[in-house]
Amino acid sequence: MSHSPLIAVIDDNQAIREALEDLLSSLGYRALPFASAEDFLASSGRADVACMVVDVRMGGMTGLDLQARLNAQGRHYPMIFMTSDADGVTRSNALAGGALAYLEKPVDAEVLIGCLVSALQRETQLH
């Protein structure tokens, strides 16, 4: 029996984390929620993550900081960024760093689902 993909959800807003967890579980995915980038980096479960949904602006380390740290470690997870403050420079930096998508909040569930499917297909092809 194959395990459903594990998707890290990193957002400092608990309501958003819970909504994403509900959405992911309704699609048959497993969610691994984190309130901060630092919590994700400290987690032993991150090795099993197939994809990440990350808030851009959080207290402490930002989503872009996390992306840069992971890239420097050679860990290139498919990342889908979400933000309330869309700005072109941040979007360009996220995409240049390898982000699969950069979505504005409130994120349309159908758009997010499409991004997740693409990310997981890409990850399957790489492994």
Look up residue 97 and give its two tokens. 């760093």
pLDDT in tens, the chain (127 residues): 357 999 999 999 999 999 999 999 999 999 999 999 999 999 998 989 999 999 999 999 999 999 999 999 999 899 999 999 878 999 999 999 999 999 999 999 999 999 999 999 877 776 6
> Residue 104 pairs with which residues in a beta bridge?
83
Look up residue 42 and give its two tokens. 């400290």
Would the pTM of this model clear 0.75, i.e. be above it? yes
User: For residue 1, what pLDDT is reported?
Assistant: 36
Secondary structure letter of residue 109 according to DSSP: H
One DSSP character per residue, 42-103 reads H-GGGGGEEEEEEESS-SSS-HHHHHHHHHHTT----EEEEESS--HHHHHHHHHTT-SEEE
In terms of Cβ atoms closer than 10 Å to its own Cβ (0-12, 13-18, 19+), residue 13 is middle
CATH of the domain at 103: 3.40.50.2300
User: For residue 127, what pLDDT is reported?
Assistant: 63
Domain count of the fold of the chain? 1
User: For residue 124, what pLDDT is reported?
Assistant: 73
Residue 48 lies inside a defined structural domain of this protein = yes
User: For residue 45, what pLDDT is reported?
Assistant: 87
The domain of 87 spans: 6-126
- Residue 121's contacts (CB-CB under 8 Å, 6 or more residues apart) are none
Residue 84 lies inside a defined structural domain of this protein = yes
Phi, psi of 79 (to 5 degrees): -120, 135
Phi, psi of 30 (to 5 degrees): -105, 135
Residue 1 lies inside a defined structural domain of this protein = no
User: For residue 3, what pLDDT is reported?
Assistant: 77
